[in-house]
Structure 1
Amino acid sequence: MAHHRPDASFDALPALSDALRIPPSERSFGRQYAQMYDFRLAVLRKRAKEAAMERHASATHVDRLLDIPPRQVCVVTGTFFSALRRKPDVLQDIARDLSLPPPPPRTSYVDAEHDELFFEDQSGRVRLVGEAIRPGSELASKCVTGVVASIVGIETPDGDLEVRHVYFPGLPPPDTAPTTVTGGRIVLASGLRAGEADPKNDLARELLVEWLTGELDASSRDETRRISSLVLAGDSIQRAAWEHVVDPQHQEPNPFAYMDPLLAQLCESLHAVVVMPGAQDPCSAALPQQPLLRTLLPRSSVHDTLHLCTNPTWFSLHGRRILATSGQNVHDLLKYLPDEAQTTDAALCMAASTLEWSHIAPTAPDTLWCYPFKATDALVIRAAPDLYIIGNQDAYATKLVHNVRLILVPSFARTHEVVVLDTETLEPHVMSFHT
């Protein structure tokens, strides 16, 4: 049926996506992460400084934190560091008595009575104070570890920096090169979790496949004919299921034996099937996660419509530039908020903030695992996307941020929902497969 559908015009955007692919021969975790922070600050400093000086032209810009003048409003550029009492400590985990059970994972790193916020550059570090960044404020929620910004402030008698205003780098300027946008629809899904022992999820997945291939019912075929492609934004396989495949003591069915023919069926029907790894999938946990191995998916891998991508990743469909993640970046950012504040609206705001910060996952490597890049940081946002996808969220949500369509894609295993996007208008709607 693929020839009856609009052409997806898939483009891997190698100029953006290649930096996220790490050849096996080059993978080394022996490097320090300081180079990443230095590069991040160097590449984002100029835009953050310009944003601040544009609004505070009379303020003095100080190149180094150690040179902040006393009793004078100034502009400084650096990187936030959140000293959070409940933040995980890798060294403490290593030193822990192995005879004791590991502590339960924290859902929030926040302890408002003891937490402190610092600002640092290559010259040093200064503690931040002030009403503008009081705990619980909207601005404070954006000042998380690893974010580059320019601060307008004044030194206090105690040597701290009182924050008046904060300015972030913002997205890079939009691409002025002409592009041709073609009509069609993209289905965005995440969290299929094949191998999960849940009959309702199994049935919902089967309904999804039948709908995508036009086999569900005649009334849905007009809509499905407009669908050119499918994006699976992580967690396609349930972790417990694939971990047991290599354990002879367990007799659970192989989840790849289910997922591979499912993907092959979709690849025969659609012009593009984009598969990203996620936290549950069989690949390394560190960002950027590398593509799933084709040897795990032998039947679907023979189709040139299957595109195994990294997480995060860049690609283009119908002429629309797309940035996608499987959700770990936003999940970790939410832990910088109290438990009661971790709502879908907060997740949407955090995702929007990553665009404002021009960085996909600023908390990596501090509280989110990532690869120690040499003299670069591949998670810096180097171009303005048309569409920004965040997978494996608790619920669907969307907003326009500086002409970027931002979409929280719900976990299918939790919600039995996918998102359908019109590529011409960038208008999304939800399709439900509740059983």
Structure 2
Amino acid sequence: MSAGRASAATAARLVVRTVAVDENEPLIPRTDPRNPLVWMRRGEGIVGLGEVLRIESSGRTRIEDAAAAWTELASRADVDDRVGLPGTGLIAFGTFAFAASSAATSVLIVPELVLGRRDGRAWVTRITLVTGDDESADASDDTADPTIPEPAPKRKVPRVAFAPGSLPPGAYESAVAEAIRRIDAGELQKVVLARQLVGQLADEAGLRATIRQLAEDYPDTWVFAVDGLIGASPETLVRVDHGQVSARVLAGTAARGAGEASDRDRAAALQRSPKDLAEHALAVASAVKRLAPHTARLDTSPEPFTLQLPNLWHLATDLKGVLGDGSSALDLVRAVHPTAAVAGTPRRTAIATLAELEGFDRRRYAGPVGWVDGDGDGEWAIALRCAQVDGDGTVTAYAGCGIVHDSVPADELAETEMKFRPIVEAFGG
């Protein structure tokens, strides 16, 4: 429902029916291989098929414009939800551009069919668009049994040969060195600098295999696919569920060790690292500052803990609280994005600095990605460990690092290589 589609959707009404099903098959093999809609973690989540409508937005007010359009659309929806779990009823998958100046479109997509699983229960949601006097779809029609697609057979992941994008390794190290100079000059405290890898996908039908690979290799992350953006993010931007709010802040990274003893040592060294602890503290302070005004109570982990992923360690802090002002998930997404974990501190200076030193449009990388329901609840991650797949088959992968006073350019470059691994390997690299 971009500006060009607003008139049709304004008169539209969504009819939504969610029913429980007895289903144990994995969800990802059922998703559309060319236009996948996926939100999964530890084998649970939702996948969408088809598209009823989309809400498109851009610019500085892209998140609030989408939130307002979604609230209006949801207020007119006819919902019959017989399961009542997070992810049931009216759902939209979403992805937002990182920057207001981005050429990338931000979008909420309402699918025709949603397959979901959570807490040992499975469901199917059918969503129909009714316009004008068309009453052919009715949520009270109990005779209509949604057809669940059969899971596709497992196939090999498509092979994509990646090459450096517009900021090759040497230029990236130079950008990091310039960022450190500006930090030492007192212009800012932290900036997150990213770089790209670019490749070509010959077989779009292989995207389902790529997503499945990410889910198998990184089960503790949010595995997502929305409008060509595919990834496995370890960082929860914000989650809202019946007045409860939570988030997970990640900043500070170390490679995994070669053996068990070495691995323990690296995790322990990360927890003691002044550089990583300082970087992490800035990210946590940013998240608390943005969330606190919307909560009646907000608690954080007593100290950062180490989060183990297959290829690296992160310093992590969990935030949990109770909403105090009735904000929706999208309201909180707008409040907290972009966090210091993906932009820097102070925010405005960091955004201007990274745009100058990176020299490319991040598009949806490091932006919010997730889902929202008709009540405004939802789960949103930061789009990390990800790639955007364009209609012409171009695949652009992204990875970035937080630059602070003690950063070393060569070390930051090596860290981006670690962070590229999940998406590069998921494309057969």
> Under TM normalisation by the shorter chain, which class is it?
under 0.3
Q: Which has the higher strand share?
A: 2
